[in-house]
Structure 1
């Protein structure tokens, strides 16, 4: 049984005439450890996902990272890096006295831990200009955001973002969301649950990770996570679970899609984001949810074979095509 999106957004899937994607959130300066020492890059969960979407969508697709940026050299470097890789910033504001957040990745084998410096990150001000934000999300095929996007905003800014999402969705945009619960970004679980719960009312596709949902809601299984989100009115849910199978719930049925593992992973940073980006690319290209999850597993496996969050575009395209 094929899954069909709500009528107002069904035209967005598999329609080559519609090629406009926005991802909302924070892009940070990334310091990652490699064989030759520390390397500087740019990353952040919603940016990592957009990176994969940019690699896998047709070249003519408009891909914009919607955030806020400083006027310092590091912000200029971010924007130039995005432009060099086919990613715009739409109407994102440029703000004096603000600058990018910074994080460093340290590795223990392939597993990673993070140290953050982000209290004055410009991205926290991404909803300060409601008109600019709404304009950035207008006439999109897909809008993507995450629980981290919500977590870096104050209450008023979250409300502004949700209003802009509602407007974009009313114009026909497909809205996708990864709850991506990070305890250190929230005052307590109750606030995280309230903010994420409010966001779910604007979501068509949910892409949670089971350990995150277990930590936040006490879910006992991926099936419980999928059922809870379906009961919240979300028609398409994909529950990621690390190296275990992903659970796809759509059109009233649930299917487990086995993961693809790499024998010698180098760095698991960004694997879930790569899954999200490739899954959404597949859906926009008209591939059904179960097959889309299979492609996403292959792309995620390719990502853990390189250092840092952003795998080279040719590698992403090769992994995506190999699952066809």
Structure 2
């Protein structure tokens, strides 16, 4: 019954402005009609990553709940972990609207939000009130007009570290000018050093772009290892526009969704050959088979966001349940047994 209601709701939301629809979807999570099955787990699905225990390896990517306003329902939506944010030290409005575009024909989206958020102080207050029954992480960002963007990441983490289970350094958004320059080895090493000094006991993840050369990946792997990063999220959105059919295909911003799947998974597989740091696969995950492919390419866990636009919030539980079946069919007793068993096919 709830799945039928969800499908009707999705159809209605797709008729209105994408950013407005997103806001309504967040508010709908607080109603009795939201698909909130509670924990989805099994001995096969239970996963350990960066010292955290996950009911299953299917996570919510940052950007869906930017301001941490829906943590209570999201932790009951079947995810194994969720990530909120990005949070910047000071509130900022982001880029002018329109800045979110639905590419229905491609099952994709383009956004150029520019780290719009309520600011770290407000977001941390909400995190402090949250009842975390699964790991909840915060995506760290930098203010657009900051005089020291590297310092911004450390400032946000210092404010939030007592109320989160992990933090993600996001230097891979394409929508803040020159932010991706911080992925260079010297700049990244300095940034991560500042973050690690204030992290306390919080595991720090690094989120990278898909638009990197092999040398870039090798450099990032080395810097991440030296910095003792706990996991690398692979990948953020892409600036590429490959074989898109939607009339919005040429909009500026980062492309996410189905067209990103192959590129992000290639990047994931390459990185898996370069480092033993656990990887979290993101980009185009909308089915259990997609999640399974990421895991076999080298991911210890996965995240999704754009897939929810087309599949609804119940997608998380359905992917986890389907993943359990796929692991069983291939004789894997756990997610960890399957990690990297098919990396070579993605190189």
> TM bucket by the smaller chain?
0.3 to 0.5
So what's the TM-score if we normalise by structure 1?
Answer: 0.44
More strand by share: 1
So what's the TM-score if we normalise by structure 2?
Answer: 0.42
